[in-house]
Amino acid sequence: MSEWTGAAAFEQPSAFDLFWHNMPVFFKIFFLVFFSIIIYAIFKGIKQWMANNASELLTVSCTVVAKRFRVSGGSGDSSSSTAYYVTFEILNGDRVELKVPGRLYGLIVEGDRGDLTYQGTRFKGFERAPGRDVMR
């Protein structure tokens, strides 16, 4: 174990200084990469949140063209979570895929026509147009 060579001879090194000083280079690189990824994800989330807030609240006529879901976790004793997505085709041909709450996912059917309300990447609501048979 090497001796601590701090800035001042009378200073006691902190536990973190001793930990970091005696750590192998590989672990230092790992920690730096790990924390860099976390910081990047935080900034990316904040950027998306700000972009959504700056976006205009839009209500457009559209058709539901696809639905999908993604399950994550659930192996062993861990719990799982499911994210639900619906793809809407706007009248001009553009498609928008938005994450929707599970309680609404089951109520939306491919082929439904109606008015979609969204802001950036945030789903705000979908109101089905009248005239579609509920029971077939």
Q: Using an 8 Å Cβ cutoff, are 48 and 121 in contact?
A: yes
Verify that 49 and 96 share a domain, yes or no: no
Which CATH number is 94's domain given? 2.40.50.660
From CA 30, how far away is CA 136, in angstroms rounded? 58
| pLDDT per position as a tens digit, 4-17 | 565 555 678 787 77
How many separate domains does the chain show?
2
Burial label, 98 (beta-carbon count in 10 A; 0-12, 13-18, 19+): middle
Q: What is the mean pLDDT of residues 19-25?
A: 80
Amino acid at 3: E
pLDDT band at 40 (very low <50, low <70, confident <90, very high): very high
Verify that 71 and 121 share a domain, yes or no: yes
Domain membership flag for residue 117: yes
Verify that 119 and 104 share a domain, yes or no: yes
Verify that 47 and 62 share a domain, yes or no: no
Verify that 70 and 122 share a domain, yes or no: yes
Domain membership flag for residue 4: no
Verify that 38 and 98 share a domain, yes or no: no
SS3 call for 33: helix
Domain membership flag for residue 68: yes
pTM: 0.72
Verify that 47 and 25 share a domain, yes or no: yes
From CA 95, how far away is CA 68, in angstroms rounded? 14
* Last residue within a domain, chosen from 37, 53, 69: 53
Burial label, 113 (beta-carbon count in 10 A; 0-12, 13-18, 19+): middle
Hey, what are 109's tokens? 């059917």
Query: Which domain range does residue 34 map to?
Result: 15-53
Q: Kindly give the residue spans of alpha helices, DSSP state H, lying in the chain.
A: 15-21, 25-54, 102-105
